[in-house]
Structure 1
Amino acid sequence: MQFDLSVIWFAIIVFATLMYIVMDGFDLGIGILMPFIRHHKHKDMMVNSVAPVWDGNETWLVLGGAALYGAFPLAYAVISEALTVPLTLMLIALIFRGVAFEFRFKALPNHLQFWDRSFMAGSVLATFCQGIVVGAVIQGFDVQNRVFIGGQLDWLTPFPLLCGLGLLATYALLGATWLIMKTEGELQHILYRLSYKTLFTMIAALVMVSIWTPLAYPSIAERWFSLPNLYYLLPVPLITALVCLKLAKSVRNRRERSPFIMALLIVLLGFAGLGISIWPNIIPPNITIWQAAAPHKSQSFMLVGAAMIIPVILAYTFWSYYVFAGKVNEDETYH
């Protein structure tokens, strides 16, 4: 039996990317929400909710980038060249945010505000750049003879910027619903209000992107609205709408776990919609995963390592979340 290694590696990259979006999404969302929280003790509780797991969440970003480099070198080369600016800014923001995360717990009182602001700025910039990357991928790249021929600022157009704003709202929603599950009392009450605001902001961005995409990109419009595709794909937006309604209802009824689960479903459905729109291209608009793939032997060699390392990452990720499950309180501190 012959396996299609390109499809397998594409699935691995999709899985790693989704794990990163889910896990580091609510982590970044906490930094995005922090400007709306006044009390220092509440900010400490927010950061403490992810203190044991935040750095492990970014393992998936490293795995996804390494897999793209090894399994689809053409895609890695084109994307890294076309999106050098937003990718570099994203990495700088993640580094600065990580430093701020550690230093805010050890800083002198007169330096604490600086590190809090650094944490917020790093979270916002990293998220915005990630949204720009997603929008630029949908927009596509100018490639001739397997070489990117576009400009370094081709991504600086309204659609990727809108995607950046939409991802800010999405991560903020993930962060708010995560904190509802992890906190209680006054802070939890504040986060219920913020969840409503971030949900409707995210819905507005999602609607705008969903309208803009088929109007601007005919190939995506044909994928979604031609028959019989329309019948097969219609459940995706319908289920998304129902999940948004369920999330709003669960927030109104002051549920604790349901809002976060619904937010995760929205992210999953949005990611599915992205995959449907560009498949089988890995470099839109017309370079497929097979055209961008590394040699079969290279993919086979890498797959052995992936088969060993991914279960290890899943195991320690599950264990860390299991050990630190439950509510955070004001008396807990991170060192």
Structure 2
Amino acid sequence: MSARSDSLPPIALSLGDPAGVGPELIACAWADRSTQRLDPFFLEANPAIIREAAAMRGVDCPVVRISDPAEAGAAFGEGLPVIETDNGDYRPGNPDREGAVAALHSLDSAIAHTLAGRASAVVTAPVAKAELASVGFPTPGQTEYLALKCDVMVQDTAMMLAGPTLRTVPLTIHVAIADVPKRLSVELIVRRARVVARALQRDFGLERPRLAVAGLNPHAGENGAFGDEEARIIEPAIRTLREDGFDVTGPHAADALFTPHSRDGFDVALCMYHDQALIPIKALDFDQGVNVTLGLPIIRTSPDHGTAFDIAGERKADPGAMIAAIRMAGDCARRRAGHRVDG
């Protein structure tokens, strides 16, 4: 049984691409549920995928068929609760169209259960964007897809990467590096910073979160010597946020922002582009990094790594990030429900 007993709905997991590491990591998470103090979770998928992935990993993860998420809590101690479908096969390292269909179906069902209140949060396993695009996936990634399904404007969400030592938010996400300066604006920074601050208060229990804003250019522009985006866009955004009462500093030179001494001075770093945010979190917390979508009416987390097709089925994938994503989803759900979160 889970070590937690709050009367919350279970967490809905999505399978991810069945050719990736998602199925084996889900099986590992269930097998380690008690030691890791994980809340009950379930997924909608082909049970054979989980069984075969567990057998490949050599972990004990029986599957318990359920017909409704309400059954997951009682079943969780006996096995991984699964709402059965016949979508997809377990073919590690060999993605195909059928696997993409299975991944999308599982994702849609997890979102639907959570929006309906039958699940307390969504945890998404990694997907292959190119494979999903081939079956009609309409967005660049799962973050944007969650916003679409929740009827929230993408500009009113934020992707936060969170680990034991660092939290970062890329203010622009899936855009070419050459397009980043054109996408940045005072409105974008202010809008996303507000989303981040409010989510850290509601879901992470930080009464007055400290936001550090990175510069775009080397040395944060060096007073205009290396670009004017800091003076023209980033500094006015910081002034607006401070006037609104938020605890914001910057723009900081990104090459020094993530040193141990600097990290002690903020709760989250707002970064100007994808790799500026993801490189430090993956360097510091790769095996425990969690991707959290802020600004949604539901809670969504995901391990901060990809499908890893190259090592799927080889017993090499570390389940730490999946376990961290499930634990974080439970913690956030508990805070939203007004329950105490230890630690």
TM band (smaller chain): under 0.3
More helix by share: 1
More strand by share: 2
TM-score (norm 1): 0.28
Report which structure shows greater RCO (CA 8 Å, sep ≥6).
1
TM-score (norm 2): 0.27
